[in-house]
Structure 1
């Protein structure tokens, strides 16, 4: 290994990083991430030049492919697959460049990844159980005991049941039927991969930064307290819209209109849009800057009916965004694309203790949108292992 080259590069990395940490105290994590990414790209490019190779084009191709499809249609699950493919190809590239260029820094990266992998294999499943069940008690202490708030508890108990099944099953079942125990495990692994894909692209989507040239900010409705007052969750959505409204007013002196979208549920005294309007008025937003869409009953209708209002108000064209809670904006964006509404979402913050439960709920909703594909794959998994069990029974056992 070229020790002098790598030590000099690492010293430069630490020197610049220290300067950034001192200069930008409020954005330490973002500056750390950005500089680390820039340093690695420059460092690996230097190795490529020295070796006269072009291996970096492989992960770069997948990353550019991800960028192309992401900025073309942001709310597509395929973008998650492309992003993870780019990350996997980059890891493969690090292995390749470490071997061919005798890179000490590359070896260090691989060492860190190996340690993380081993820790995940040894303790990840048990840590996940402890986290999920522990988080469920925190959620239940702060929220109502409705089914959507029990998802982390249900998942934690399901993992425990799966482990017990895999440990006890082979001891009490005939050998040929043990193969069938692989069915729930394989299906669980499949859904974990699908969830990881969903989570990856959902996190990326959080970094939307719309331009301050919007004509409308759609605020997606939620339930009301006592059927007439906005909930804390809904208030955060409105507050996020108001924050953008005021920022654009400062930047351009041309504020957007807030389009409150939400109909009246069977247990509500007034439409959600009306309660949202009253809340915005209390926050000092002028009445002429607030529009209402009071017919929708779900997120898809929020988008469809809001689009009709905006097209009626500005038939020549408009710019718009929407606000919701951060865990919800990706799925809401999927519904926007479904009605051919080309807008991005910005998210309001959610209590950290509630995020695991919230993302699980969103994942279930997104999975149900593609339930036919998942049912086919789960059916093929089941049929495959059932066939192996039959073969084992008749020809092996």
Structure 2
């Protein structure tokens, strides 16, 4: 059972981290390490118990990810093409397509290195695999915990429901993406109201250069036009980014009620990163997500992960640099 000790340790750290504050990226790392060590310990135990089962488990561990990588690359390319057709050729919409092409290029590099028996190409390929492996581990941690975070229940009642803005169509109309946030905000409001609370719904979003009015005003008009009580809505109309949404909303809530609690509503792919930002700015509340079209998920999730990765750039780029230096040293000592 000693082999499972690291998995148990990281599971305990994960549980303690979630109880202390759900809004920590460290929780995602603990979850990923616990799962990794548990899998390795299980394979080791199978190998000691039955050599055939152990061999099968090792082969599965090697072959299934390899097959999965090829399938993933094809899926990302197909999704990227769909994103371009539906959403246009903006850089953010190309992420899944570029990720899929990048995976195929890495596979082609490794195959070429083996075919040509080129030490230089092989070192470059192995270094690239190390980099991709590190980033992929963090990405899997991010996706797994984001999925889990989105299904954790709000623990307590709240004084405010904060709905984050996301841009308007034609400068004045609420798009479907934002409408889904508003409908989820209404549902959260009604659930809190059913518990006996009297929350305020706070729409958050300023006016962009191509918008005719602040997003928060259009959001409020959308809700009022569908029967939501106007006297239970407040507007935060200065913010331009998610972090400003949270900072300026916090200021409004603190001024009205210093010991406030809130629930922040955004789209589900954005919920975990918004939660990390909420913790950063000192906002007291959890984040919940609203449904998003399935085809939008891959590119949006990659974009969210990239933002979190760069938010910890000192550590992450430091690790990547060490991997590159390791590859250079191996090549140099050939």
How far off is 1:220 after superposition?
0.6
Residue-pair matches, total: 333
Structure-1 separation of matches of 2:79 and 2:57: 27
Structure-2 separation of matches of 1:188 and 1:54: 30
How far off is 1:352 after superposition?
1.3
Structure-2 separation of matches of 1:166 and 1:95: 27
Q: Is the 8 A contact 1:208 1:345 kept in 2?
A: no
Provide the TM-score with structure 2 as the length reference. Answer: 0.90
* Matched residue, 1:361: 303
* Matched residue, 1:345: 287
Residue 374 (1) aligns with residue 316 (2): yes
Relative to structure 1, the CA distance from residue 239 to residue 176 in structure 2 (aligned partners, 3 Å threshold; closer, same or farther) is closer
Structure-2 separation of matches of 1:144 and 1:260: 28
How far off is 1:255 after superposition?
3.5
Residue 63 (1) aligns with residue 19 (2): no
Q: How does 1:112-261 map to 2 (within 5 A)?
A: 117=61, 119-169=63-113, 175-176=119-120, 178-211=122-155, 213-252=157-196, 254-261=197-204
Relative to structure 1, the CA distance from residue 114 to residue 92 in structure 2 (aligned partners, 3 Å threshold; closer, same or farther) is closer
Residue 86 (1) aligns with residue 29 (2): no
Structure with greater Cα Rg? 1
Structure-2 separation of matches of 1:96 and 1:156: 33
* Matched residue, 1:300: 243
Q: Is the 8 A contact 2:113 2:121 kept in 1?
A: no
Task: Find the partner of 1:311 among 254, 258, 261.
Answer: 254
Greater RCO, CA 8 A, separation 6+: 2
Relative to structure 1, the CA distance from residue 352 to residue 94 in structure 2 (aligned partners, 3 Å threshold; closer, same or farther) is same
User: Secondary structure of 2:235's match?
Assistant: strand
User: Secondary structure of 2:195's match?
Assistant: helix
Relative to structure 1, the CA distance from residue 323 to residue 117 in structure 2 (aligned partners, 3 Å threshold; closer, same or farther) is same
Q: Is the 8 A contact 1:212 1:248 kept in 2?
A: no
How far off is 1:231 after superposition?
1.2
Relative to structure 1, the CA distance from residue 165 to residue 112 in structure 2 (aligned partners, 3 Å threshold; closer, same or farther) is closer
Structure-2 separation of matches of 1:366 and 1:385: 26
* Matched residue, 1:327: 269
Relative to structure 1, the CA distance from residue 321 to residue 116 in structure 2 (aligned partners, 3 Å threshold; closer, same or farther) is farther
How far off is 1:383 after superposition?
1.6
Q: Is the 8 A contact 1:177 1:389 kept in 2?
A: no
Q: Spell out, residue by residue over 1:29-59, the C-alpha distance to the aligned partner (whole angstroms, 9 max, x if none).
A: xxxxxxxxxxxxxxxxxxxxxxxx8987764
In terms of mean alpha carbon deviation, does 375-384 or 163-172 score higher? 163-172
Q: Unpaired runs of 5+ in structure 1?
A: 1-52, 393-397
Relative to structure 1, the CA distance from residue 122 to residue 379 in structure 2 (aligned partners, 3 Å threshold; closer, same or farther) is closer
Provide the TM-score with structure 1 as the length reference. Answer: 0.76
Q: Is the 8 A contact 2:220 2:233 kept in 1?
A: yes
Relative to structure 1, the CA distance from residue 172 to residue 118 in structure 2 (aligned partners, 3 Å threshold; closer, same or farther) is closer
Q: Is the 8 A contact 2:106 2:125 kept in 1?
A: no
Structure-1 separation of matches of 2:57 and 2:287: 33
Q: Unpaired runs of 5+ in structure 2?
A: none
User: Secondary structure of 1:345's match?
Assistant: strand
Structure-1 separation of matches of 2:58 and 2:155: 41
How far off is 1:76 after superposition?
1.6
In terms of mean alpha carbon deviation, does 337-346 or 85-94 score higher? 85-94
Q: Spell out, residue by residue over 1:209-234, the C-alpha distance to the aligned partner (whole angstroms, 9 max, x if none).
A: 11462110110111100111111101
Q: Is the 8 A contact 1:246 1:255 kept in 2?
A: no
Structure-2 separation of matches of 1:199 and 1:126: 19
How far off is 1:60 after superposition?
4.4
Relative to structure 1, the CA distance from residue 112 to residue 308 in structure 2 (aligned partners, 3 Å threshold; closer, same or farther) is farther
Relative to structure 1, the CA distance from residue 343 to residue 115 in structure 2 (aligned partners, 3 Å threshold; closer, same or farther) is farther
Task: Find the partner of 1:269 among 197, 206, 212.
Answer: 212
| Structure 1 vs Structure 2 CA RMSD | 2.7
Relative to structure 1, the CA distance from residue 233 to residue 115 in structure 2 (aligned partners, 3 Å threshold; closer, same or farther) is farther
